[in-house]
C-alpha cells in the first residue's frame, strides 16, 4: 500500500506541476513565476488537507521530495524547446493540460481519502469525501487565483463533479473494506442462510457484489445530482446497472437452469 501511495503521489505531483507550469507559460511568466505556479499547484491541495487534519507542519514542508519534483518539472516545461512545442500548438496545449489536470485530480483525490482515513480518529464518509475532493482541486484553485483566472472548477462543473464522484467511490470502497474486517459474523450468517436455502458459495458471491455495486452507484449518482450534473448521474446509474447485471450473471444462469428443470 505504501508503494502504491508513493507512486500515486509522485504521478500527481508531476502532473499538477506540469499543469501549473503550463498556465504560467500561457500568462508569459518568467522562470520564477512558472516554478512558483507549478509548485503551488502540486503542493497546495496537500497543504490545505494537512492543515484540516491537524498535521502541522504540513508534509510538503517536512519532506522536500514533492517540492523538488514540482520545481524540476516546472523548469523543464520552461525550457526553450518545450515552450515552443506548447505555445505554437493550441490544440496540443489544451489536450496536455486536460490530461495533466485529470491525472493529478485522480491521484490526489485517492491520496486525500487514504490520509483522512488513517489520520482521523473516527473518519466519517463526509470527511473522507471532503478531504479527498479538496486535495484534488485545492492546488488547481490556488493556481488559477495566482494566475488571475476564474478557478476552473467554477467554470467546468464536471471537473468538481468528477472529483466528488471519485472521492466518494474511493471513500465508499475504503469504508467497505475496513468494515469487512468486522463482518465475520454477518458473512457467516449469510453463508448459513445460503446453505439452508441450497445456494452455493459460488452464487453467494455475485449476490454480495450486486448489492455493493447498487449502493455505490446510488450514492455516487445522488452526489452528482447534488452538484447539478444530472447527465453525469444518469451515466453513473446506467454504468452501475450494467456492472450489477454482469456481476449477477452467475445467479441469473442458476435461476434459469432451475426454471428449466422445473418446466421439464
Q: Are 133 and 226 in a shared domain?
A: no
What pLDDT score was predicted for residue 38?
A: 92
pTM above 0.85, yes or no: no
Q: Are 148 and 188 in a shared domain?
A: no
Q: Are 42 and 152 in a shared domain?
A: yes
Neighbouring residues of 34: CB distance < 8 A, sequence distance ≥ 6: 20, 21, 24, 25, 74, 75, 77, 78
* 44-81 tens-digit pLDDT: 989 999 998 888 889 889 888 889 999 999 999 888 88
pLDDT at 262 over 90: no
Q: Are 77 and 207 in a shared domain?
A: no
Q: Are 130 and 236 in a shared domain?
A: no
Owning domain of residue 25: 2-176
Instruction: Using a pLDDT cut of 90, give the percent of the chain over it.
Output: 11
The last residue of one of the domains, among 122, 151, 176, is: 176
The last residue of one of the domains, among 176, 194, 229, is: 176
Q: Are 38 and 109 in a shared domain?
A: yes
Q: Are 118 and 152 in a shared domain?
A: yes
* 98-108 tens-digit pLDDT: 788 778 888 88
114-118, 160-164, 178-182, range with greatest mean pLDDT: 114-118
**Three cell numbers, residue 237:** 446509474
Q: Are 163 and 190 in a shared domain?
A: no
The last residue of one of the domains, among 149, 176, 203, is: 176
Neighbouring residues of 145: CB distance < 8 A, sequence distance ≥ 6: 151
Neighbouring residues of 41: CB distance < 8 A, sequence distance ≥ 6: 16, 17, 19, 20, 23, 70, 104, 139, 140, 142, 143
* Nearest CA among 261, 246, 174, 260 for reference residue 216: 174
Which helix (H) or strand (E) element contains residue 89?
A: none
Task: Look at the chain and report how many structural domains it folds into.
Answer: 2
**Three cell numbers, residue 212:** 455493493
- Residues 16 and 101: their CA atoms lie apart, in Å, by 6
CA 8 to chain centre: 11
Amino acid at each position: 500500500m505504501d508503494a502504491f501511495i508513493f507512486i500515486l503521489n509522485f504521478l500527481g505531483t508531476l502532473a499538477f506541476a506540469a499543469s501549473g507550469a503550463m498556465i504560467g507559460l500561457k500568462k508569459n511568466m518568467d522562470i520564477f513565476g512558472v516554478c512558483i505556479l507549478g509548485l503551488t499547484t502540486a503542493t497546495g491541495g496537500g497543504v490545505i488537507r494537512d492543515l484540516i487534519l491537524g498535521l502541522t507542519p504540513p508534509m510538503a514542508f517536512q519532506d522536500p521530495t514533492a517540492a523538488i519534483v514540482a520545481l524540476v518539472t516546472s523548469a523543464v516545461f520552461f525550457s526553450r524547446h518545450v515552450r515552443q512545442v506548447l505555445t505554437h500548438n493550441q490544440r496540443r496545449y489544451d489536450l496536455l493540460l486536460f490530461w495533466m489536470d485529470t491525472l493529478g485530480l485522480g491521484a490526489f483525490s485517492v491520496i486525500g481519502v487514504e490520509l483522512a482515513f488513517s489520520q482521523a480518529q473516527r473518519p466519517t464518509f463526509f470527511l473522507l469525501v471532503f478531504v479527498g475532493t479538496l486535495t484534488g482541486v485545492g492546488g488547481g484553485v490556488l493556481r488559477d487565483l495566482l494566475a488571475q483566472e476564474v478557478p476552473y472548477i467554477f467554470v467546468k462543473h464536471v471537473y468538481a463533479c468528477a472529483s466528488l464522484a471519485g472521492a466518494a467511490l474511493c471513500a465508499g470502497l475504503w469504508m467497505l473494506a475496513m468494515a469487512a474486517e468486522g463482518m465475520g459474523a454477518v458473512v457467516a450468517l449469510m453463508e448459513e442462510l445460503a446453505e439452508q436455502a441450497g445456494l452455493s458459495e459460488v452464487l453467494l458471491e455475485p449476490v454480495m457484489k450486486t448489492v455493493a455495486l447498487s449502493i455505490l452507484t446510488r450514492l455516487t449518482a445522488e452526489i452528482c445530482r447534488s452538484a447539478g450534473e444530472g447527465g453525469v448521474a444518469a451515466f453513473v446509474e446506467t454504468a452501475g446497472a450494467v456492472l450489477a447485471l454482469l456481476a449477477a450473471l452467475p445467479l441469473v444462469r442458476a435461476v434459469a437452469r432451475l426454471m428449466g428443470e422445473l418446466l421439464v
